Amino acid sequence: MTTVTTSSTTTGTTDTTPDITSVNEVISVTQGSVIGQTDLLKTGLATTAYTVNTDIMKIFPGLEWNVWIPWTECTASCNSGTRFRLKLCASDNLYQDKCNHTLGVIDNVTITYSSQLDTMCNSHPCPIWLDWSPWSDCTATCEQGTTVRHRRCFGELLGYFECDGNSYELDFCDLDSCPAYLEPPPKEEVFKESDSRPSAIGIGSMSIIFVLIELATVIMVDSFTIASQCRYLKRNLKHLRPQRRRLLS
């Protein structure tokens, strides 16, 4: 493991010391000295503070003093925050003169660190909602229906965090009352006084028929009479011929 001998507070992210995963391992009390977590001198740089009472970690006594603890949480989720980590000193290290930063006291043991590394984090823009779309048409044409509008999250469009809240809103739309449906009344035939009498067309038609019948009757009667008269005249002429001959002779 590479050893960093600096004892001053370090800024930037150029440290070459590799992380040691055993820092995050919980080991029994008999295997090492206590280097518990604390509020990091109340620097205000950590959103979730280390606490000595809820999570005590152990390290092996033989570890070198330059051990970096994990990064603190970023102070902001977007628009650039800060985070840091400390290089703790084991209780039996040989370089106590370089561990001149006190982290806290746990069970009468002073916990010290030699260096602090700060860095920027979460530099992407915070997600924001774009403008609402216009309200949609009402789902009903009368009485009450619903309408909806939508909005887009700028963070989602960029491929990172989602915005807080809903991407749509629903509302009621009140319209005029629906017209009542009325069945049409049964159709009634209205009779006028003239409807009780035969129409003029009917009267005219009947009159023409009667006239034609009467004319035909007259013609038939006249034909019969004429025929009878003709036969009568013919008989008379037959009787008159002999008489005429006698008169002439």
> Secondary structure of 26-74 in the HEC alphabet?
CCCHHHCEECCCCCHHHCCCCCCCCCCCCCCCEECCCCCCCEECCCCCC
More confident residue, 74 or 199: 74
pLDDT above 70: residue 97: no
Length of the chain: 249
Summarised one tens digit per residue, pLDDT across range 124-177 is: 888 888 899 999 998 888 888 899 999 988 876 666 677 888 889 999 988 788
Q: What pLDDT sits at residue 148?
A: 93
241 three-state secondary structure: helix
CA dihedral sign of residues 21, 23, 27, 33: positive
Bridge pairing between strands 10-11 and 109-121: parallel
170 three-state secondary structure: strand
Mean pLDDT (the chain) is 63
Residue 1 near residue 64, CB atoms below 8 Å? yes
- Lowest model confidence (mean pLDDT) among 50-64, 82-96, 120-134: 50-64
Q: What pLDDT sits at residue 83?
A: 86
Residue 46 CA to residue 131 CA, distance in Å, equals: 34
pLDDT above 50: residue 61: no
Residue 193 CA to residue 191 CA, distance in Å, equals: 7
pLDDT above 60: residue 32: no
Q: What pLDDT sits at residue 217?
A: 73
- Lowest model confidence (mean pLDDT) among 20-29, 133-142, 206-215: 20-29
Vertex 79: Cα angle to 71 and 88 (nearest 5): 15
CA dihedral sign of residues 205, 206, 210, 216: positive
- Lowest model confidence (mean pLDDT) among 36-50, 77-91, 215-229: 36-50
Q: What is the pTM of this model?
A: 0.35
- Cα 213 to the center of its chain, rounded Å: 86
Confidence of residue 111 (pLDDT cuts 50, 70, 90): low
- Cα 172 to the center of its chain, rounded Å: 15
- Residue 163, C-beta contacts closer than 8 angstroms, at least 6 positions apart: 127, 128, 129, 153, 154, 155, 156
Confidence of residue 116 (pLDDT cuts 50, 70, 90): confident
Residue 17 near residue 68, CB atoms below 8 Å? yes
More confident residue, 169 or 187: 169
